[in-house]
């Protein structure tokens, strides 16, 4: 199972694993390359990194407010007609802000070095020759949220078309949940994954 950038790693692992991989779960990820549907509202690199430079990494209320503003912009899950209740969305954001602050306190340079390495790696990834090479015997479940602005849901169907085992693959779209549907829709996600694994 791989989520976001981890989904790209999982594609490669499944390809290399051959017949040893019988089930594959890909969440909010893409095939990259020529089959990628880009972010709907991508923050510019300048805006992205200038925000990181404003953090003091001291766990202050000012850092929390920066984190809230930053995460609200990039996480998706902002559709006005979303059935995800306002209270649930706020709770989800509150939890994520605290985790974000904790990670910035824990790692050198607030984790910026990791982000600097991750973004180019995602941009360079091309799975258009990887997905067709995943064995037909593998069963694949692709999960995505329709309001994911970071990696839009259309990418799910691009991956489905590329899979050689498309008869053993399926896509499940959540109405909402954004790029982190597996947290904001944790119970539903777990139920779907459990059902997939026990079949």
- What does the alpha-carbon distance between residue 143 and residue 122 come to, in Å, rounded to a whole number? 18
Give the residue from 3, 8, 40, 6 showing the smallest Cα distance to 134. Answer: 8
Q: Which residues contact 134 (CB under 8 A, 6 or more apart)?
A: 11, 14, 15, 21, 24, 140, 163, 164, 165
Distance CA 42, CA 40 (A): 6
Looking at domain 2-39+126-198, which of 3.30.565.10, 1.20.58.340, 3.40.50.1820, 3.10.20.30 is its CATH number?
3.40.50.1820
Q: What is the pLDDT of residues 102-158, one digit of tens each?
A: 887 887 666 667 777 787 888 899 999 999 999 888 899 999 999 888 899 999 999
Highest mean pLDDT among 56-65, 151-160, 180-189: 151-160
Domain ranges of the chain: 2-39+126-198, 45-121
Sign of the alpha-carbon dihedral angle for 20, 25, 27, 33: positive
Confidence of residue 77 (pLDDT cuts 50, 70, 90): low
11-48, pLDDT tens digit by residue? 999 999 988 999 999 999 999 999 999 887 655 555 55
Average pLDDT of every residue of the chain: 84
Distance of CA 88 to the CA centre of its chain: 19
Confidence of residue 57 (pLDDT cuts 50, 70, 90): confident
**141 exposed, middle or buried (CB, 10 Å; 0-12, 13-18, 19+)?**
buried
Token couple for 7: 């989904």
């Amino acid at each position: 199972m791989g989520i976001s950038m981890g989904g790209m790693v999982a594609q490669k692992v499944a390809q290399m694993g051959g017949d040893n991989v019988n089930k594959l779960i890909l969440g909010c990820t893409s095939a990259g390359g020529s089959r990628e549907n880009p972010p709907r509202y991508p923050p510019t690199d300048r805006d992205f990194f200038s925000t990181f430079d404003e953090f003091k990494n001291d766990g202050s209320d000012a850092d929390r407010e920066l984190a809230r503003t930053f995460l609200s912009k990039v996480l998706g899950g902002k559709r006005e007609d979303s059935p995800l209740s306002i209270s649930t969305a706020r709770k989800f954001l509150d939890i994520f802000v605290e985790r974000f602050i904790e990670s910035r306190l824990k790692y050198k340079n607030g984790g910026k070095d990791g982000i600097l390495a991750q973004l180019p790696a995602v941009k360079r990834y091309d799975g258009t020759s990887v997905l067709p090479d995943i064995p037909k015997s593998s069963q694949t479940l692709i999960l995505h949220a329709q309001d994911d602005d970071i990696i839009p849901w259309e990418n799910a169907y691009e991956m489905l078309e590329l899979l050689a085992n498309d008869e053993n693959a399926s896509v499940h779209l959540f109405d909402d949940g954004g790029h982190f549907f597996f947290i904001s829709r944790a119970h539903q996600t777990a139920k779907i994954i459990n059902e997939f694994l026990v079949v």
